[in-house]
Every structure is written in structure tokens, then in C-alpha cells.
């Protein structure tokens, strides 16, 4: 139940993240919904297609579509409250990142895949919706810039298996993994930590 709840929360959070980007780009209502949709389920859709899990998740459960729609409506109604778009975007993007890392790892485990592949699926689930969003919005995706983004998901995936090795309760593993990804992102932004740049000025 917690796993499913986290999935819906992550979908809602990423949908809001997509709406905020779309509103920054001054898109119309249809454009806002499309960007919210691909941000929320783009990574999971790509993951499911790669491992042959079809129909993909959101097609089997309309609650994901409802969560996205609710995220769009919420963001539009409270857009004035969310006027600090950069802060709001970062917050909801970070929440989605932590939650979807867990979702992707669990999907890989359910398919009995190698832990490294599970971690890759977790990273894909968490970050590739944002990649699609940024490409559609004519932005260089965060994952391809110096900022530590997908790396946080990788560390979260590793933490998931380490905690599982010590036989902790499933709910605690979920909470600790999500908290680790979110914490890494917060620390990275606060202290402006970045991966090394190979290009010299």
C-alpha cells in the first residue's frame, strides 16, 4: 500500500513540476497538460517499454491520469501562491526524484533483474520524464548538465540494496531511500556542488 501511495505522490509531484515549467514557457492549457503528463509518466513509460512491461503502468490504472490532472488543476488554481516558480519547481521535482527512484528499483526487482539494472531503471524512472520535459520545452536537460541530478538517484538505488541486505522493514527502506535522494539534491543545491567539468576555458 505504501509503495502504491508513493507512486501516486510522485506522479502528482512531477506533474506539478511539469506544469510550472510549462507556465514559465507561457504554454496554453493543452501544452501545460502534455508537459505535466510526460514529466510524470515519461520515465516510467520508457522503463516499462524497455523491460517489456506492457501495457505500461498508467494505462492499467487511471489513478495516475487522475493524479496528473489533479496536479495540473492544483497548479493552475494556486499559480499565484506558487509565484516563486524556481523554488516550487525544485521542491516538487526533488520529491518526484526520490519517490520514482524507489519505484523503478522495485519494478526491476519484480522482474528479477540484476541489482545494477534495477538501479539503472530507478534512475531512468526518476530522471527521464524531466529529460523529455526539458527537450519539449527547448531546454538542455538537467541530467546532461554539471548539476548532480541522476547521480542522486544512483546513490539512492545503491542505498536501497544496502538497506535490503540488512533486512530492514520494507517501509523503512522506502522512506530512507527517498530521504537519501532528496537530501543529496538539497545538499547539492545548497552548497552548489557539481560534477567535474572536462572543458577548459
| pLDDT at residue 5 tops 80 | yes
- The secondary structure element, H or E, covering residue 32 is helix 29-50
Is residue 197 within 8 Å of residue 148, measured between CB atoms? no
Report the C-alpha gap between 105 and 141 in whole angstroms.
22
How confident is the model over 133-154, as a mean pLDDT? 87
How confident is the model over 122-150, as a mean pLDDT? 89
- pLDDT at residue number 191: 87
Let me know how long the chain is. 201
Q: For the chain, give the mean pLDDT.
A: 90
User: Between residues 3 and 19, which one has the greater pLDDT?
Assistant: 19
Q: Please tell me which of 5-9, 114-118, 193-197 the model is most confident about, judged by mean pLDDT.
A: 114-118
Report the C-alpha gap between 153 and 82 in whole angstroms.
26
DSSP one-letter code for 56:
-
- pLDDT at residue number 83: 59
Report the C-alpha gap between 168 and 159 in whole angstroms.
12
Report the C-alpha gap between 6 and 96 in whole angstroms.
9
The pTM is what? 0.89
How confident is the model over 25-39, as a mean pLDDT? 96
Report the C-alpha gap between 66 and 16 in whole angstroms.
13
- pLDDT at residue number 193: 84
- pLDDT at residue number 171: 87
Amino acid at each position: 500500500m505504501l509503495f502504491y501511495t508513493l507512486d501516486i505522490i510522485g506522479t502528482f509531484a512531477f506533474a506539478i513540476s511539469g506544469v510550472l515549467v510549462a507556465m514559465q514557457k507561457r504554454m496554453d492549457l493543452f501544452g501545460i497538460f502534455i508537459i505535466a503528463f510526460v514529466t510524470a509518466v515519461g520515465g516510467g513509460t520508457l522503463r516499462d517499454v524497455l523491460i517489456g512491461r506492457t501495457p505500461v503502468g498508467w494505462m492499467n490504472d487511471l489513478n495516475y491520469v487522475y493524479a496528473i490532472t489533479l496536479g495540473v488543476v492544483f497548479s493552475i488554481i494556486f499559480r499565484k501562491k506558487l509565484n516563486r516558480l524556481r523554488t516550487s519547481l525544485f521542491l516538487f521535482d526533488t520529491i518526484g526524484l526520490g519517490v520514482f527512484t524507489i519505484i523503478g528499483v522495485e519494478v526491476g526487482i519484480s522482474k528479477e533483474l540484476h541489482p545494477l539494472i534495477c538501479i539503472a531503471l530507478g534512475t531512468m524512472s526518476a530522471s527521464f520524464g524531466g529529460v523529455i520535459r526539458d527537450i519539449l520545452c527547448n531546454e538542455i536537460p538537467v541530467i546532461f548538465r554539471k548539476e548532480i541530478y541522476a547521480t542522486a538517484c544512483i546513490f539512492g538505488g545503491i542505498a536501497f540494496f544496502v538497506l535490503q541486505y540488512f533486512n530492514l522493514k520494507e517501509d523503512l527502506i522506502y522512506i530512507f531511500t527517498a530521504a537519501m535522494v532528496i537530501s543529496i539534491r538539497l545538499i547539492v543545491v545548497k552548497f552548489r556542488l557539481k560534477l567535474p567539468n572536462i572543458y577548459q576555458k
